[in-house]
Amino acid sequence: MADKLKISKVDDVQVVARGQASNVTLHLTAHHLIVVQAPLPPPETSQQALPTQKRTGAPVKTRESWIAYPMIAYCTFRPTSPGSAQASSIRLRGRDFNYYTLNFADDKQARETFESLKNLTCKLGSIERLYAFSYKAHGAEKQINGWDVYDPKAEWKRLGISEKGVDRGWRLSKMNHDYAFSPTYPALLPVPSSVSDITIKHAAQHRSRARIPVLTYLHPVNNCALTRCSQPRTGMRQARSVQDEKLVSACFSATSQVDEVDSVSPAASRNSPASSQADISTPNNGEVTDTERYEDEMLASASNIEIITEKPQVYGAQQNNLIVDARPQVNAYANQVNGFGTEKMEYYPLAKKAYLNIANIHVMRDSLAKVIDAIKDADVSPLPPNRELLAKSGWIKHITGILDGAALIARQVGIQHSHVLIHCSDGWDRTSQLSALSQLMLDPYYRTIEGFIVLVEKDWLSFGHMFQHRSGFLNHEKWFVTQNDALAGSAIQPGGNTDGRGDAIENALLSAKRFFNKSNHSQENVDEADEVTVDQSPKRPILDTLPQSDVTKPNETSPVFHQFLDATYQLLRQHPTRFEFNERFLRRLLYHLYSCQYGTFLYNNEKSRVDARVKERTKSVWAYFLSKKPEFTNKEYDGEIDDHVKGKERLIFPNLEDVRWWHQVFNRTDEEMNGPHNPAMERYLALSANNSNGLNTTASISSPPGAPSSRTVLAGLEAGTPMRRGSNGTTTVSGNPFASLRDGIAGLGIGKATGLGGTGSANQSGLASLNGNSKEMEMEVEMQ
């Protein structure tokens, strides 16, 4: 790393944070920027006023802040000409939302510091030069092997599935043992026992990246399955796969084989606390919210559609089985142009399909950027963030939507005793969010520290969430900006304006940037964003040639895992006694996602980590957490499960009226992010939620900025059987590949009234007509 350091130590630097300035010394090492602040002089000069260390001759301890280079999210260098009254400065924005301005007495030192930071952050040349590959643990952490916490076979055995156990309708397939079948899937695949590996291999051709429907959770009481996959390869010709249809059908009927299992292997014998079937059959009516009631009505309304033919009743047909497509409908239909799309439900008779309005990675990245814009002056000003910009970010709306979708899934599995299959596009972003959060609501085990570790390992790491692409561990040169002081304000980026100059120019540039982004990436705006996209930034030579898999593509970064942790925080805050871990555990986990001190989150999938021998060459982040377990343990935790006692139930659900800013993660106070504390209003909201009297509670003055006015994320339903065509209905002409795309998009009602309920007949795409007593629902169409 020595070749990348232009300077290793800089004295007499002024650092500004939260409006407070202090003099420090900078030390630049191979993996950290160390900010050393000497102790402040005592207010008095008398001997009695001196610190104990001074009186005894002991050395005075200095204050050190270690900043890991991957934690630098954005760096701006502002050089000044000789003789300028202003000091050359470097402004840093951290991925942990800490902000620093460093003012230098010497421009040459400032420039060398900037170049060193740039070289050590985005010009490493290989992911194997990150700190994780040289970090050595100490003390208690050294004695713990964090890689041993998650054992796939042990977790599936906990859920009742093992090679030597009773057949519960599922088996563990080793067909992906060498990752040749599906490189982004885990080596061990839980699949229906009734489906052979040969059938599965054929079915894989119908799913993006061969990410077939596989089990991710089996309910220990009612044996209902939560499965996940990627989008189907239907295309504009509405292609089908008999093998895929058989596999999905088997996922929805696997538990038909276990009628006698509970007498042999009772749920109570498993690790996960269980309740009786009667206990979870129906929720407490006093706790059903308007949103839940509305969504249940929508699901029920799709069951009342007349079907073309009467078929014998089979297991699963009486359940409200769901295929959950997490995408906005327009995105799902638009993907047909690329040969993908969504299920044609006449071929999947055992389920309905629910569309969720969860936006793509580009929308989420833009949302966080607006949050950053609202808090961007945190280094130079102690003032609170711009709450208007916070509201415009849409961040709270997105978190609420994700929680709503996960709660819908949890209700279907835990209360409606139904099976659910989840997918988005490739099934590694929104699918992981929904799958993991719904399991948090369903299973108390995942709310323990060990269980949460298992959940992250299983549903995020082993199922191939692209941590490296989404997090951008090797940074990017476009995030290191040099500004010309002579044109102050003309090159200022979001978060770069410290003295109020150039606000109008900054806003104009941002508006123009958004306009040209929409113009230049129109295909991207329509297409679903889980697909790997081509980086549109100018191609320039990099100091060390990076393997293509290691290159950070700014267009592929997105705070997907951050949103999962934020949603988990909401559940923890609303159910403070039901989680073994505390808020700091989540915040610290987000920090170590980006610190690259541990190998846990490196690379994009299990195969890549195995190929890189990450377990042998790096430490696991779980060793860190387990070695400091008391620091991350919730003192209010109550692990007792009793469905007859309020507050001790097995299942938990979010209060969508009470989603607030996770202020700690943004280094702000609750009042700064969420507004003044209003105990009277909060008591009223709590009483209203408990009574569930059907009144729509409007946002109060204590509501966080950006709280959504529409509470449901459910965007529409398609029946799982062919529908009888109305008098105005027509049959799609076979052989016309554009007909299904045309009819599907036409059925979305773009440009018409936004309500999905109506009096029109079912359209050609098979979208269920949701008339009756259902309320009109607004459908959000994201074009980015």
pLDDT for res 682: 55
Cα atoms in the 13 Å half-sphere on the side-chain side of 328:
25
Question: What is the domain count for the chain?
Answer: 2
Domain that holds residue 92: 2-122+477-518
> Rounded to an integer, what distance in angstroms lies between the CA atom of residue 665 and that of residue 593?
13
Q: Any binding-site annotation on 429?
A: yes
Residue 61 has pLDDT above 90, yes or no: no
| The domain boundary residue, chosen from 686, 719, 752 | 686
774, 298 contact by CB (below 8 A)? yes
Maximum CA extent, the chain? 98
Query: Considering the domain boundaries, does residue 540 fall inside one?
Result: no
Give the Cβ contact number of residue 754 at 10 Å.
Answer: 14
Are residue 328 and residue 382 in the same domain, yes or no? yes
Q: Any binding-site annotation on 634?
A: no
> Rounded to an integer, what distance in angstroms lies between the CA atom of residue 162 and that of residue 176?
17
247, 215 contact by CB (below 8 A)? no
Are residue 270 and residue 396 in the same domain, yes or no? yes
Query: Considering the domain boundaries, does residue 182 fall inside one?
Result: no
Are residue 615 and residue 487 in the same domain, yes or no? no
Are residue 593 and residue 656 in the same domain, yes or no? yes
Q: Which residue has the tokens 């291999």?
A: 201
Rg of the chain on CA atoms, in Å: 28
102, 13 contact by CB (below 8 A)? yes
DSSP state at residue 459 = I
Q: What is the pLDDT of residues 92-129, one digit of tens each?
A: 999 999 999 999 999 999 999 999 999 999 998 899 99
Compute the average pLDDT of residues 264-290: 45
Are residue 482 and residue 571 in the same domain, yes or no? no
Query: Considering the domain boundaries, does residue 381 fall inside one?
Result: yes
Query: Considering the domain boundaries, does residue 667 fall inside one?
Result: yes
Between 259 and 184, name the one with better pLDDT.
184
Are residue 495 and residue 437 in the same domain, yes or no? no
Q: Any binding-site annotation on 424?
A: yes
Q: What is the mean pLDDT of the chain?
A: 79
663, 669 contact by CB (below 8 A)? yes
Q: Any binding-site annotation on 320?
A: no
Structure tokens of 154?
A: 């042990």
DSSP for 703-726? SPTT--S----EEEEE-SSPBPP-
For residue 676, what pLDDT band results from cuts at 50, 70 and 90?
A: confident
> Rounded to an integer, what distance in angstroms lies between the CA atom of residue 80 and that of residue 90?
11
Query: Considering the domain boundaries, does residue 756 fall inside one?
Result: no
Phi/psi at 426 (5° precision): -90, -10
Are residue 489 and residue 620 in the same domain, yes or no? no
Annotated active-site residue 424? The verdict is: yes
Give the three-state DSSP class for 461: helix
Query: Considering the domain boundaries, does residue 606 fall inside one?
Result: yes
Are residue 407 and residue 505 in the same domain, yes or no? no
> Rounded to an integer, what distance in angstroms lies between the CA atom of residue 327 and that of residue 356?
6
Are residue 501 and residue 585 in the same domain, yes or no? no
| The domain boundary residue, chosen from 686, 707, 726 | 686
pTM to 2 decimals? 0.79
Residue 394 has pLDDT above 60, yes or no: yes
Q: Any binding-site annotation on 427?
A: yes
Residue 545 has pLDDT above 90, yes or no: no
Helices 583-595 and 560-574, interaxial angle, to 10°?
A: 170
Are residue 511 and residue 439 in the same domain, yes or no? no
289, 655 contact by CB (below 8 A)? yes
pLDDT for res 783: 32
Among candidate residues 336, 344, 325, the one with its CA nearest the CA of residue 245 = 344
The catalytically annotated residue of 75, 122, 229, 424 is 424
Among candidate residues 424, 490, 503, the one with its CA nearest the CA of residue 208 = 424
